[in-house]
Structure 1
Amino acid sequence: MKKRYIFISLIVICIVMFIITSFCSFFKVEGDSMNPTLVNNDVVYVRKTKSFKQGDLIAFNYNNKLLVRRVIALEGDKVNIDQNGYIFVNDKKLEENYIQSRKDNPLRDEIFPYTVSQGHIFVLGDHRTHAIDSRMRDLGAIDQNQIVGKVVLRVYPVIRFSVL
């Protein structure tokens, strides 16, 4: 009888692990590009999806690394950044209460206004001074094929657990 419970428990664990790895992933955040929303060594839960909206946090592959950035604009949107660091999408100013400073990254080399290409998403880091994001031509707007999914939870450290 005990062997049967162990066998059933192992089957249930395997099924749960299959479901978790098929539809979501856990990743460790490296760096401070998303500070203060996410900080170095936070662990996040990423739901695999291809449906995003402005303000979502997404995880995507870039140069053999997984990066997390915030969706600012979708395909066809026009993005502009003024001298004070305010972001405008389709001529509407974004309310960005998640950033601490609007100071620009000195490596920015993209020309604005910028229209997001078909099949791409324009992303920015929350720590604008240090984030490598769509303001840099090397990264640019993210091809939707590079996107792993939407960051939905911070699971570690446990005291900072939150829905994102």
Structure 2
Amino acid sequence: MPGGPGKLGNPKKVRSFWKELPILVIIALALALLIKTFLVQAFSIPSDSMQNTLQRGDRVLVDKLTPWFGSEPQRGEVVVFHDPGGWLGETQTSDSGPVAEGIQKALSFIGLMPSAEEKDLIKRVIAVGGDTVSCKRGGKVVVNGKPLDEPYIFPGNTPCDEKPFGPIKVPEGRIWVMGDHRQDSLDSRYHQNLNNGTVSVDDVVGRAFVVAWPIDRWSTLSVPGTFDQPGLGAAAAMAPSAVGLAGAVPIVLWRRRRLIAKVRAEAEARPDRLTADG
């Protein structure tokens, strides 16, 4: 068959590694950008406000996926959030040169390094929408009447002696946050002039779930057991029940009206049927 042997004898040429390398780099960058935008992003700890849980210079990975599915911050989680307004003050200027700044911006764009320009903070969620939170000098932080046992507080610190507060009712869709280093954290306690110090859940970037760098500090950021104590979520748990009850009442009334209307219709029709049968 003409041409047959020639086709079999000329296998397709394999591209060289150097020709495929640009394509692989583009794919890798696209995947990194996708992950940074929707899944996970790296953040650098800029201060001592979360010691000893987090140290200055630690790199944490932040879960950005679950908020896309409607998940909101929970008590005890460590979260990254945008500056609600004036918490960070003036932005500090970088001391690095233009080349280093360019590399920083390029890597932060694809999520491989934290951004030097983003005005974000990292704190622990103490109370969520519907909760009542307070703390008296010499006492513990109290949420919905339950005192918190906070082993994560920086050694030597008190829960709130330097800045007592409350009671404060946290509005729905907002959270009350505090740093673990209580005497070195300008958190919700110090910004009560705006929304009582609470932060909108819309400003939350995501939950920090692991310390990824340096290697010798690798650890997960789990929710402390004190936030699982019975009754702590009672106030917040009432809201869904109330919504469910409010939704159920109209349905019950509607069904009851239909049943009454049906019984009346049958009662009105019954004499006619008896006359016809007679």
- TM-score band, normalised by shorter chain: 0.7 to 0.9
- Cα 1:97–1:69 change in 2 (3 A) is same
Q: Deviations over 1:13-44 (max 9, x none)?
A: 13421332122211111111100001111111
Residue 14 of structure 1 aligns with an amino acid whose one-letter code is L
- TM value normalised by structure 2: 0.54
Q: 1:151 maps to what in 2?
A: 208
C-alpha separation in 2, matches of 1:138 and 1:25 = 31
- Cα 1:54–1:103 change in 2 (3 A) is closer
Q: Secondary structure at the match of 2:31?
A: helix
Q: 1:58 maps to what in 2?
A: 79
- Cα 1:131–1:105 change in 2 (3 A) is farther
Q: 1:67 maps to what in 2?
A: 121
C-alpha separation in 1, matches of 2:193 and 2:35 = 33
Offset at residue 60 of structure 1 (A): 0.9
Match of 1:133 among 181, 187, 191: 187
Contact 1:105 1:130 in 2 (8 A): no
Q: 1:94 maps to what in 2?
A: 148
Higher strand proportion (structure 1 or 2): 1
Structure with larger RCO (C-alpha < 8 A, sep 6+): 1
Contact 1:105 1:131 in 2 (8 A): no
Contact 2:77 2:124 in 1 (8 A): yes
C-alpha separation in 2, matches of 1:30 and 1:37 = 13
Gaps of 5+ in 2: 1-14, 89-118, 222-278
Gaps of 5+ in 1: none
Q: Deviations over 1:34-84 (max 9, x none)?
A: 000011111111111432211100011114621100010100101021322
Q: 1:19 maps to what in 2?
A: 34
Residue 75 of structure 1 aligns with an amino acid whose one-letter code is G
Q: 2:5 maps to what in 1?
A: none
Q: 1:43 maps to what in 2?
A: 59
The count of corresponding residues between Structure 1 and Structure 2 is 162
Give me the identity figure in percent: 33
Q: Secondary structure at the match of 2:212?
A: strand
Q: Secondary structure at the match of 2:189?
A: coil
Superposition CA RMSD, Å: 2.0
Residue 117 of structure 1 aligns with an amino acid whose one-letter code is P
